[in-house]
Structure 1
Amino acid sequence: MSNYDNKDAINQIDAIKNGLAPKVKQTGKSAPVSDEQKQTTPPAQTNKQLEELSANFSQAIIKTNFGEIKVKFYTKDALVTVNNFMNLAKKGFYNDTKFHRVIKDFMIQGGDPNSKDNDWSNDGQGGPGYQFQDEINNHKIIKGSLAMANAGPNTNGSQFFIVTAEATPHLDGKHTNFGYIVSGLDIIEKIENVKTNENDHPTDDVIIQKIELLK
């Protein structure tokens, strides 16, 4: 069950349209974090356009240079988050971004537009130019979960992570779990085994080439 009813969800879709919240600062390495440096208003989307995405699509394929990862969404329990992810994917926002943070036996994190270039020093600091509220639900964040990275409550943007640990109880209730992996766990295992530097950044690029929405 989501903490928001449908009316609340529509209000949050409005929030995605209009942009929210001041910038936030990164708060350590233990959890998947995002650190958005500036706020701008995203391109306007009507509630109808956003709702049509989750009505027409329920899954996505994350295409990477390591292979394809197929995810299914918890649309009823995270309506705003799912619509946000779908909207960004449809616009090509995630194309050529990277999984910029990889911690073996924990998670892989991506979705930052800053990761498109070769300067990894600012990876983890970017986003879509707005933030929106959490949709905490009853789905535990376990191996194969797709969840939003954040820098504290209600600071969601574009960054997300996929869990490789069997369980992460310290993340439950703190990150919006909005989907799960239905195929491609072997690809995720390949990604989590790449070499990384002292900042958990892969030494070889792990590129999200495209995210394709599916029925």
Structure 2
Amino acid sequence: MSTPDASASEDCMYTSADGTSPTPAATEPAAGKQEMTIVTNLGTITATIDTAGAPCTAGSFTHLAKDGYFDGQQCHRLVIDGIWVLQCGDPDARAAIEAGTPEMAGAGSPGYSYGEENLPVEAAGNYPAGTIAMANAGPGTTGSQFFIVYKDTQLPADYTILGQVTAGLDIVEQVAAAGAMQVAPAGM
């Protein structure tokens, strides 16, 4: 993540999951845009982050990236029907997959959560191809998990739009073309 423009600021409320887990700063830069680079085993994805529109989310990403939080993580969810997204950002996904319990991938968090911001309108294609948005399990549960939209997708307007891929969307499309790993239902 590039250095944010601190010419404006926003108060953010990050809620520690256990009351002791560290959280980002309570006041975050809220101006301009940042550049984000995602280095994958298939190549590099770059994106422009809307720091002005999603200052708390950008602040969280900056905080986590500086700590190396995303280093070595594995994307854990690919949706190839109805919506077109690749979901990443679960710190426990790789361990779950390597342990043979891929159904557990997607439950991890950075130890804190925060509310949604920069939501789109309810409309067809409200998450266009290249959008980077935040996954959540309901209002106020946003953490570190994000998804990259690789085809225009319509979703409920419940997911913070963090930014837009500027290069490397073809890498996500390549992953989608390879398909998703099949997970057997529990007990099989």
Into which bin does the TM-score normalised by the smaller protein fall?
0.7 to 0.9
- 5+ residue gaps, structure 2, are 1-7
- Aligned-pair CA distance for 1:142: 1.1
Say which of 161, 172, 188 aligns to 2:147.
161
Identify the residue that residue 187 of structure 1 maps to in structure 2.
171
Q: 1:196 to 1:40 in 2, by over 3 A?
A: farther
Number of residue equivalences: 167
Bigger CA drift: 97-106 or 66-75? 97-106
Which has the larger share of helix?
1
Name the % identity: 31
- 5+ residue gaps, structure 1, are 1-5, 21-38, 201-215
Q: 1:148 to 1:199 in 2, by over 3 A?
A: farther
Identify the residue that residue 131 of structure 2 maps to in structure 1.
145
Deviations, residues 77-101 of structure 1 (Å, cap 9, x unaligned): 1100111011111110011111110
Which has the larger share of strand?
2
CA distance in 2, matches of 1:44, 1:103: 30
Say which of 70, 93, 103 aligns to 2:69.
93
Q: RMSD of aligned C-alpha atoms?
A: 2.5
Say which of 128, 132, 143 aligns to 2:110.
128
The answer on whether the counterparts of 2:31 and 2:51 sit within 8 Å (CA) in structure 1 is: no
> TM-score with structure 1 length normalisation?
0.69
Bigger CA drift: 77-86 or 129-138? 129-138
Deviations, residues 108-166 of structure 1 (Å, cap 9, x unaligned): 00000101321323210000111101104347311100000001111100000000122
Q: Following TM superposition, where does structure 1 have runs of at least 4 consecutive aligned residues deviating by more than 6 angstroms?
A: 54-57
- Aligned-pair CA distance for 1:196: 2.1
Identify the residue that residue 34 of structure 1 maps to in structure 2.
none
CA distance in 1, matches of 2:119, 2:103: 33
Where do residues 10-159 of structure 1 align in structure 2 (5 Å cutoff)?
10=11, 12=12, 15-16=13-14, 18-19=15-16, 39=18, 41-43=20-22, 45-47=24-26, 50-51=28-29, 58-104=34-80, 106-117=84-95, 118-119=98-99, 120-138=102-120, 140-159=126-145
- Aligned-pair CA distance for 1:41: 3.3
Quick one: higher RCO (CA 8 Å, sep 6+), 1 or 2? Answer: 1
> TM-score with structure 2 length normalisation?
0.78
